A and B are shown apart, each in its own frame.
Chain A
Amino acid sequence: MTNKETERLVQMRIQQTIPDKAALWERIESNLPEQPTFPEIQKTPSRFRVAYRVIGAAACFLLIVGAAGIFGALRGTVNKSETAVTMEKTADAPAQEYEDAAPAADNYDEDFADAAPAEEAFPENNEAMNGAMQAAGKQDSSPHYSPNVRQEKTPAYADAGDADTSDILLTGIAYGQEVVFHANASLSEEAERILQEAPDSMMKNPPMTAQAAEKGILLTFTMDGQEISLTAVDGVYQMTADDIAYYAPESFQEIAEAIEENRTPD
């Protein structure tokens, strides 16, 4: 006897125990309600619901961080664009426009009242410049550089020593301090005009001054649409030869050339 035969035998015996199907159906049918009631299916919560929530929270967090990063990047781009526009405008605009551009001049005294004295800040620079002047043999009659800090607006240049106002060549903001350059030589009309207009234009243009400070430019201002800069190179203030030639008296020329050639003036 095989397993298959045994299975068939048992199956046959079991399946012979059949009910009276017709009678049983009548019994079932007689008890059936008219319509199924369809009980509500209760949705069993997913076993992964916690994981779904964690993943969702992480996704939201990443979305927020990403959005903040993108926003920050865009904001930085906009600020740079605005700065560029400002620089362009200030470089091209005449000095008069700066007077109306910002109220910085109103806070002039307060802004610089706390500034450190330039004599302390730049002693070696002053000596370097004076040394250059002495080497040129024109100390008495030549221009005299003296970075200084203006403590008061009026009377002007109180810390400029015994020089009167006509000695002042340039004044402006350098590294947050007002610096005054003195020249004993007589100035050309153009230089005098610069002296009158340049300081205000510089001080009324904080963005430009700040930009100049970052780049190592000591003084920057615009005159007749041309940007003029005094630069600080390796801690020594110097003017480019072209700048000096443009507005400085002739006595400056030799010094300017010496500076440009990086040599001691004769």
Chain B
Amino acid sequence: MTDTEFEQAVEQIRRGNREGLRILYEAYGDKIYRLFLGKVRSREDAEDLTSDFFLKLWEIAPNHRSGTGHRAWMGTIARNMAIDHLRHTSHETPVEDTELAGQETMTEHTTAEDTVIGKIHTADILSSLSEDEQEIVRMHLAAELTFREIASILKRPMGTIAWKYRNAVGKLKRLAEEGKLI
């Protein structure tokens, strides 16, 4: 979704038209959900947070300043909501069912790469990365954010983000090749 399309959807929201929010949900609902899922590691919590996110977007989208990058703006909001959620539930042990749950539907989307390295368990692969690397990989691959947008969200230099991401991919590659995570 371009910035112009986003502004048009926001204009609809400003007029009280729910269609504007639905357009945003269609474009970003799954990405936001994956961001939450990567953070809270609970499908239920991720769905709750996704719901809360779009309810919040209904309220604050008209305040977005045009031309400031709506994807990074939304990513920052989602990340802050996830952090708040984790703070409130810090006494609870996170249920790491997300990646396992993700495996339930993977059979429909099997590709050539899956055939070659089909036994790689995504949850295991990602859990072998550091927290920073996991977050960057999820933002880039799950939410399809650019390095620049990730750098804006995490408030770090873009070079650092790119370097960490490359390191993470290198680790994943070695683990897969060594078959340690099969």
Task: List residues of chain A with CB under 8 Å of any chain B CB.
Answer: 1-3, 5-19, 21, 24-25, 27-29, 31-39, 41
Residues of A within 8 A of B153 (CB): none
Q: Are A10 and B54 in contact (CB under 8 A)?
A: no
Q: Are A19 and B50 in contact (CB under 8 A)?
A: yes
Determine whether B33 belongs to the interface, using a CB cutoff of 8 Å to chain A. yes
Determine whether B16 belongs to the interface, using a CB cutoff of 8 Å to chain A. yes
Question: 7 pairs across A/B with beta carbons < 8 Å?
Answer: A5-B113, A6-B176, A10-B172, A12-B109, A17-B98, A19-B30, A24-B51
Main SS class of interface, B: helix
Q: Are A14 and B138 in contact (CB under 8 A)?
A: yes
User: Count of chain B residues with Cβ under 8 Å from any Cβ of A?
Assistant: 55
A1 to B37: give the CA distance in the assembly, Å: 28
Q: Are B109 and A19 in contact (CB under 8 A)?
A: no
Q: Are A12 and B114 in contact (CB under 8 A)?
A: yes
Q: Are B141 and A7 in contact (CB under 8 A)?
A: yes
Shortest distance from the beta carbon of A69 to any chain B beta carbon, whole Å: 45
Shortest distance from the beta carbon of B143 to any chain A beta carbon, whole Å: 9
Given contacts A19-B30, A24-B29, contact A36 B14 (CB under 8 A): yes
Given contacts A13-B122, A18-B30, A18-B33, contact A28 B54 (CB under 8 A): yes
Residues of A within 8 A of B60 (CB): 39
Determine whether B101 belongs to the interface, using a CB cutoff of 8 Å to chain A. yes
A9 to B55: give the CA distance in the assembly, Å: 33
Residues of B within 8 A of A28 (CB): 21, 25, 51, 54-55
Identity of the chain B residue whose Cβ is nearest the Cβ of A30 in the assembled complex: B51
Q: Are A24 and B50 in contact (CB under 8 A)?
A: yes
Q: Are A11 and B142 in contact (CB under 8 A)?
A: yes
Residues of A within 8 A of B120 (CB): 9, 13
Q: Are B37 and A17 in contact (CB under 8 A)?
A: yes
Give which listed residue, B21, B102, B113, B170, contacts A3 with CB less than 8 A. Answer: B170
Residues of B within 8 A of A21 (CB): 25-26, 29-30
A1-B176, A8-B113, A18-B33 known; 18 new pairs, CB 8 Å cut-off, are A1-B177, A2-B173, A10-B141, A11-B141, A11-B142, A13-B106, A13-B122, A15-B34, A16-B103, A16-B105, A17-B101, A17-B105, A18-B105, A24-B33, A24-B47, A31-B51, A32-B18, A36-B14
Determine whether B9 belongs to the interface, using a CB cutoff of 8 Å to chain A. no
Determine whether B147 belongs to the interface, using a CB cutoff of 8 Å to chain A. no
Shortest distance from the beta carbon of A5 to any chain B beta carbon, whole Å: 5
Give which listed residue, A17, A24, A34, A36, contacts B13 with CB less than 8 A. Answer: A36
Determine whether B111 belongs to the interface, using a CB cutoff of 8 Å to chain A. yes
Q: Are B51 and A38 in contact (CB under 8 A)?
A: no
Within 8 A of A (CB), among B28-49: 29-30, 33-34, 37-38, 43, 46-47
A157 to B137: give the CA distance in the assembly, Å: 115
Q: Are B58 and A9 in contact (CB under 8 A)?
A: no
Query: Which of B18, B141, B169 has the most chain A CB atoms inside 10 A of its CB?
Result: B141
Shortest distance from the beta carbon of A8 to any chain B beta carbon, whole Å: 6
A35 to B122: give the CA distance in the assembly, Å: 42
A31 to B101: give the CA distance in the assembly, Å: 27
Within 8 A of A (CB), among B103-124: 103, 105-106, 109, 111, 113-114, 116-117, 120, 122
Q: Are B59 and A36 in contact (CB under 8 A)?
A: yes
Give which listed residue, B18, B103, B125, contacts A29 with CB less than 8 A. Answer: B18
A32 to B53: give the CA distance in the assembly, Å: 12
A13 to B124: give the CA distance in the assembly, Å: 12
Q: Are B16 and A34 in contact (CB under 8 A)?
A: yes
Q: What string of 1s and 0s marks CB contacts (under 8 Å) between B125-155 and chain A? A: 1100000000001100110000000000000
A168 to B61: give the CA distance in the assembly, Å: 104
Residues of A within 8 A of B106 (CB): 12-13, 16
Residues of B within 8 A of A13 (CB): 99, 102-103, 106, 120, 122
Q: Are A36 and B62 in contact (CB under 8 A)?
A: yes
Given contacts A24-B51, A41-B63, contact A17 B25 (CB under 8 A): no
Residues of B within 8 A of A3 (CB): 166, 169-170, 173
A247 to B32: give the CA distance in the assembly, Å: 114
A6 to B169: give the CA distance in the assembly, Å: 7
